[in-house]
């Protein structure tokens, strides 16, 4: 269904934004909270452009191997409980932001 496709796109954008250390931009654009389908498409396109810019310019990308999803509810209309709390999500995001920051530091040492 359209909802499952949109959920999949949102989850992928969330994972990519975590990988590039721009999860704050994900929350700024709010593609998950668009009031209309047209607005959703605009917000998704803006997020994709940000991610594609980083891909084209070979920004450092964090390889995330754990299962990270933004929307884990089973289907549209079901008020299923999310498996993670807001605090748990923030902890994971901060940990990955820190990891990305450490990975992208270009340190030079003097000999």
Q: pLDDT for 10-27, tens place per residue?
A: 989 999 999 998 999 999
Residue pair 26/17 in contact (Cβ under 8 Å)? The answer is yes
Task: Please give the structure tokens belonging to residue 8.
Answer: 């999949």
**pLDDT given for residue 88 in this prediction:** 82
Write down how long the chain is: 111
pTM (two decimals): 0.80
Distance CA 11, CA 19 (A): 12
Distance CA 48, CA 16 (A): 9
**pLDDT given for residue 105 in this prediction:** 76
**pLDDT given for residue 56 in this prediction:** 94
Q: What pLDDT digit, counting tens, does each position of 30-82 carry? A: 888 888 989 999 999 999 999 999 999 988 888 888 777 787 765 555 554 56
Rg of the Cα atoms in the chain: 16
In terms of Cβ atoms closer than 10 Å to its own Cβ (0-12, 13-18, 19+), residue 37 is: exposed
């Amino acid at each position: 269904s359209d909802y499952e496709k949109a959920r999949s796109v949102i989850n992928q954008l969330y994972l990519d934004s975590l990988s590039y250390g721009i999860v704050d931009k994900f929350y700024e654009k709010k593609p998950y909270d668009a009031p209309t389908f047209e607005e959703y498409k605009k917000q998704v396109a803006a997020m994709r452009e940000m991610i594609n810019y980083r891909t084209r310019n070979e920004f450092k990308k964090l390889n995330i191997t754990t299962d990270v999803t933004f929307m884990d509810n089973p289907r549209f209309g079901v008020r299923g409980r999310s498996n993670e709390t807001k605090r748990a999500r923030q902890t994971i995001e901060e940990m990955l932001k820190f990891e990305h920051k450490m990975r992208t530091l270009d340190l030079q040492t003097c000999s």
